[in-house]
Amino acid sequence: MVGSTNKVKINAVRWAFGSFFKDLEFEALEVDSGVSRMPMSAKETIKGSENRAINALSSMDAEFGVGVEGGVEDTELGTMLCSYVTVINKKGVRGTGGGTSVRIPEPIARRVKAGEELGNVMDDFSGMKDTKHSSGAIGILTKNLVDRESFFRMATACALSPFISPEFYEDR
């Protein structure tokens, strides 16, 4: 169960899970992240991914709940785009992974910090529509060398590590 109806996020989860598990059925449901629409720190972005995973898992009889969340974080390098994915199974085993990041240009960062959602700002700057459901900010800024789906694929694959390599996560 994926805690989002965004096709980019669903495709990223489907790709990562499909790389390691066979015969899984995927369902998507929009669930509350419990954080702001535009998370403004890594901590808030992680919390949003955790909340989505928990809410997705509790919404249906599923083996896994998956929460995918994008946000921004101020660093000494500037405002960075970040992504986190949390996977939780019925037994309570949890994995969280983060993706790559990119510095957001200051004129865009100023508007996001003023309360606008990054997708809307990127639509305005790029002249495109609904970029959060396609290439996203990462795709626009990298000329699609990295698109939004691959951005979330990496984070999802990392979040799966306790499930695909459990021998390293067991107490010894």
pLDDT by residue (tens digit) across 116-126? 999 999 999 99
- In the chain, the number of structural domains is 1
Whether the model clears a pTM of 0.75, i.e. scores above it, the answer is: yes
Q: Which range, of 18-22, 46-50, 69-73, 87-91, averages the lowest pLDDT?
A: 18-22
Using 50, 70 and 90 to split pLDDT, how confident is the model at 130? very high
With 90 as the cut, is the pLDDT of residue 163 above it? yes
The predicted model gives 82-95 an average pLDDT of 96
CB 156 within 8 Å of CB 13 = yes
Decide if 99 is inside a domain.
yes
Decide if 46 is inside a domain.
yes
CB 63 within 8 Å of CB 72 = no
Using 50, 70 and 90 to split pLDDT, how confident is the model at 96? very high
Decide if 58 is inside a domain.
yes
Decide if 53 is inside a domain.
yes
Decide if 172 is inside a domain.
no
pLDDT digits (tens, 9 = 90+) for 29-63: 999 999 999 999 999 999 999 999 999 999 988 89
Decide if 2 is inside a domain.
no
CB 131 within 8 Å of CB 119 = yes
- What is the span of the domain harbouring residue 113? 7-166
Domain at 55, CATH number: 3.90.950.10
Decide if 15 is inside a domain.
yes
The predicted model gives 136-149 an average pLDDT of 93
69 membership: H or E segment, kind and range: strand 64-75
Decide if 57 is inside a domain.
yes
